Structure 1
Amino acid sequence: MPPPAPGASAVTDAVRAAAAWSWRLLLIGGLIAATLWVMTELKVIVVPIAVALLLTVLLTPVQHFFQRRLHMSRAWASAAALFGMLIVVAGLVTLAGQQIVSGFQDLREQAVAGFDQLLDWLADGPLGLDSATLSSYLDQAESALSDNQSSIVSGALGAATTVGHVLAGALIALFCTFFFLLDGRTIWSWTVGLLPLRSRDRVHQAGRRGIITLAAYTRTQILVAAVDAVGIGIGAAFFVPTLALPLAILVFVGSFIPVVGAVVTGVVAVLVVLVAEGWVPALIMLGIVLLVQQIEGHILQPFLMGHAVSLHPVAVLLVVAAGGFAAGIVGALFAVPIAAVLNTVILYLHGHDKFPALGTEERVVVRGDPQPRVIEDPDADTSRSSAHDSPVVRGDDASGGRGTTR
């Protein structure tokens, strides 16, 4: 046995273990920070790809319907699913815009009347602000706006740049969604083929389970958002019927940001009713919003979302907070699905399979794999399939025989 190094006896085993854990944790933290920095710098590309993945798992059942029921090719079914989604979104935006235009004039007049009532209360109420004092405050506000005109202009230019980025991202997302629907398995096969041969099967199986978790999250979140939108929209229809649909659409979109989105959109709905109808209807609307959010938080989220993503509500709250701190609204929007997919993948790689019924009968086919026994994708266009393009093979047929076609 070699003699101990000088001074080794002065370092206890606990200190050595702590040092070993420390440098590994620092390395992992540095890798995570570097990854987040790269994703932030490339957010114009990363965010559209993430949106495309969500749209793909949402539109895949629609694509399969067009293929099986209407006997379309894979390309035409992918295009039809994407085009149908665009029609639905455009119809909702158009209808909401018409409702806003028709109700905005009445809301503006009510807001002006409410502002005049506020000024009267400030002058005649307990504060006792006379008209001269109020005029001086208004003059100070106008001078502040004129002094910061350059900042306002630069902010408007920044907003125009952001709109340009959003449009570019939307085009990238639509483009990627179409090709994910059309050639998703081939793209995944190519990606897994970049890995060492011994790692391909485990990564492929983990990826399958991650996609199932992502699909479950997307569909469950749509259901939860729809319940929020319908409940708050019906409540708003009693007080501001011309703005009920826009408010419902706003709540639906905002509900995709867990915890935060429902609160913010609910506050907007209450403020609109306050401006339009006054304090009593606003309090009633607040009660409706709280009731809907209680149903979501105590019934829908624990049973539906908890089953779909297997994350504790505390974990969801912390993940949303961390995502919002790291990347703003976009980070809060994608924090929960990313955490859910990572949870499923990491559990599988550590031997805890959330979907044991899937088995491991499918493995990815890439060039260089031994015995590429092909099982064709049942939804694929047969004119385009080949041994190189086919994404999966029967892994349990290890005898070298021909795989059974699904």
Structure 2
Amino acid sequence: MSSHSREVRLSRFEQLRARIRRAYVSGRSGNRPQPSTQPEAGEVAAAPVPPPPVPVEESGEIVHPSTASRDDEDVPHALRIAAAWSWRLIVIGLVAWALLKVIGTIRIVIIPLAIALLLSALLAPAVGWLLRARFPRSLATAVVLVTGLAAVVGTLTLVVNEFIRGVPDLSRNATDGIRQIQEWLQTGPLHMSDRQLDSYIAQGERWINENTQSLTSGAVSTAATVAELLTGALLVLFATFFFLRDGGKIWRFIVRLLPVAARWRVDDAGRASWATLVAYVRATVLVAFIDAVGIGIFLVVFDIPFAFPLAALVFLGAFIPIVGATLSGAVAVLVALVDSGWVTALIILGVVIGVQQIEGHILQPLIMGRAVAIHPLAVIVAIAAGVVLAGIVGALVSVPLVAVLNTAVRRLAHRRRPEVPPDAVVVAPTAP
């Protein structure tokens, strides 16, 4: 190899090094490398890159790149952003309104399915125990469902029987209580006369007579309501059975309907939400049981009628946080006032307040835990919205719905790729 060709190759290598060094220095300084006007030896001069064209109207005036016309340019930037947000929010509001209308139309199906999900979350651990004991899945689901149904029917039977036995005594005590209230209104600080009492009683009777038609129309529609209740109860039973038996298959089928890129994250968020729902229902049942036992013991000690039905009412009311316990406790205080006087009623009121304080400050934080922790303001707003949209059932379903959505949104917003299962097989692409 001649010395001249070696020098040519060395000069080209030096040119390459010089270009790499200039690119490195310009990259560190944050500036794009400027092409030199004088090409080096053996290098072809590159044409300069022209700057991007500036949008110009026919009149020669510059148009802002984010606007489509001169009129948009005259609108302030903040107002354009606000308008863009506004019409998007209007579209979202219309979609939400249409969704609520659809849900209201098929509420006879949506509400039983929601109740079935809550029951499935409550009974799922029992089905898991039987499956670990080598029970077939269908048999384990049937045993748990029949046992739970028998417990509910037995409890309702005891409540109805005790209520039937105690109604005569309570009616007599109620009459005595009303008489005492009338005497207190006349001799107490209000000093109401018989004429005033008679006028108020006449106004009450007049209101009843004026609203007799509405009361009668409500009674006429009872048949349709009973039919809807029976249909909903059957749907709850069937849906609960299939949720317990084939819940995993149903969820995998739903996930497969989504785009491939979203399946993994949605499946992860759904399973976390289901765990939250199970924890919420189990903790709520335990808290409700403790509340019912605590208040029921004092009702039995003070010989308050309907002790067991009132304890059952406290148990059911505890499923609606904050509001339910207050209302059920108020019913117990009223029964104590009618039956045993204001002293016993004040004692029962103190018991109810004490149990609620223990529930709010000890049981809820200890049993619920951080997995389903929701701010009290969110709980109140959810209950109010549930009552407006679906009545008592809405109040019952609203809080667990908020808990599930809270977990799902947090899991989806957390940009974390789930771990690869240990039994997954990764196939690497082969080179062509």
Greater C-alpha Rg: 2
* CA deviation string 1:212-245 (max 9, x = no partner): 1111111111112112211211222222444111
- Identity across matched positions, percent: 46
Matches within 5 A, 1:202-221: 202-221=265-284
| 1:248 and 2:311 correspond | yes
CA distance in 2 between counterparts of 1:94 and 1:317 reads 33
Is it true that 1:294 corresponds to 2:357 in the alignment?
yes
Q: 1:315-334 CA deviation, whole Å, 9 max, x = no partner?
A: 22222222223332222211
> Displacement of 1:140 after TM fit?
4.9
Report how far residue 112 of structure 1 moved: 1.1
Aligned residues: 364
Deviation at 1:308, TM superposition (A): 3.2
Tell me, in whole angstroms, the C-alpha distance in 2 between the residues paired with 1:140 and 1:337.
43
1:6 to 39, 61, 70: 70
- Pair 40,272 (structure 1): closer, same or farther in 2 beyond 3 Å: same
1:44 corresponding residue in structure 2: 108
Return the offset for 1:172: 0.3
Cα deviation for residue 134 of structure 1 reads: 4.4
Tell which deviates more after alignment, 134-143 or 178-187: 134-143
- Find 1:165's aligned residue among 228, 231, 247: 228
Decide whether the 8 Å contact of 1:209 with 1:345 is kept in 2: yes
Which whole-Å CA distance do the structure 1 matches of 2:159 and 2:415 have between them? 46
* Aligned partner of 1:145 among 201, 208, 215: 208
Question: Structure 2: which 5+ residue stretches go unaligned?
Answer: 1-53, 57-62, 64-68
Q: How does 1:73-92 map to 2 (within 5 A)?
A: 73-92=136-155
> Which residue of 391, 394, 404 corresponds with 1:328?
391
Q: CA deviation at 1:125?
A: 4.8
Cα distance in 2 for partners of 1:149, 1:269 equals 29
> 8 Å contact 2:304–2:336 — kept in the other structure?
no
Higher mean Cα deviation, 126-135 or 245-254? Answer: 126-135
Write out aligned runs for 1:181-196 (5 A). Answer: 181-196=244-259
What are the superposed Cα offsets for residues 296-326 of structure 1, whole Å, 9 maximum, x if unpaired?
1122223433523132222222222222233
Q: Secondary structure at the match of 1:7?
A: helix
Secondary structure at the counterpart of residue 399 of structure 1: coil
Alignment match, 2:87: 23
Letter in 2 for 1:345: A
Q: Distance in 2 between matches of 1:115 and 1:177?
A: 46
Question: Quick check: 2:304–2:340 contact (8 Å CA) kept in 1?
Answer: no
Q: Give yes or no for contact 1:66–1:77 (8 Å, CA) kept in 2.
A: yes
Query: Per-residue displacement from partner, 1:184-235 (whole Å, max 9, x unpaired)?
Result: 1221122222222322222211111111111111111111211221121122
- What per-residue deviation string (whole Å, max 9, x for no partner) do you get for residues 226-285 of structure 1? 122112112222224441111111011111111111111111111010011011111111
Q: Look up the match of 1:378.
A: none
Aligned to 2:321: 258
Q: Is the 8 A contact 2:131 2:137 kept in 1?
A: yes
Structure 1: which amino acid aligns with 2:257? L
Q: 1:68 aligns with which of 121, 125, 132?
A: 132
> In the alignment, is the contact (CA less than 8 A) between 2:386 and 2:398 conserved in 1?
yes
Counterpart CA distance in 1 for 2:195 and 2:78 is 73
Q: Provide the rounded CA distance (Å) in 2 between the counterparts of 1:62 and 1:327.
A: 30
Q: Secondary structure at the match of 2:70?
A: coil
Can you list the C-alpha shifts for 1:18-44, whole angstroms capped at 9, x where unaligned? 222222222223222222222122111
Residue 370 (structure 2) aligned to one of 307, 327, 345: 307
Q: Aligned partners of 2:148, 2:220: CA distance in 1, in Å?
A: 31
- 2:298–2:348 Cα contact (<8 Å) kept: yes
Amino acid at match of 2:176: A
Deviation track 1:74-115 (CA, whole Å, cap 9, x = no partner) reads 111111110010011111111222222222222111111111
CA distance in 1 between counterparts of 2:197 and 2:375 reads 51
Distance 1:180 1:162 in 2: 26
Please say if residues 220 and 308 of structure 1, whose CA atoms lie closer than 8 Å, have aligned partners that are also in contact: no
Q: Please, what TM-score do these two structures have when normalized by structure 1?
A: 0.83
Structure 1 counterpart SS, 2:269: helix
Conserved in 1, the CA contact under 8 Å of 2:255 and 2:266?
Answer: yes
The aligned amino acid for 2:122 is: L
Write the distance in 2 (CA, Å) between the matches of 1:108 and 1:170.
33
In structure 2, distance between residues paired with 1:319 and 1:136: 42
Match of 2:426 among 373, 398, 406: 398
Name the aligned partner's letter for residue 62 of structure 1: A
Q: Deviations over 1:320-360 (max 9, x none)?
A: 2222233322222111111111111111111267xx9xx54
SS at match of 2:221: helix
The answer on whether the counterparts of 2:304 and 2:335 sit within 8 Å (CA) in structure 1 is no
Change in 2 beyond 3 A, CA 1:40/1:360:
farther
Structure 1 residues 144 and 352, CA, compared in 2 at 3 Å: closer, same or farther? Answer: same
> Alignment partner for residue 296 of structure 2, among 226, 233, 240?
233
* Aligned-pair CA distance for 1:143: 4.5
Higher relative contact order (CA 8 A, sep 6+): 1
Distance 2:206 2:323 in 1: 35
Tell me, yes or no, if the aligned pair for 1:360 and 1:395 is still in contact at 8 Å.
no
Q: Give the whole-Å Cα distance in 1 for the aligned partners of 2:181 and 2:223.
A: 34
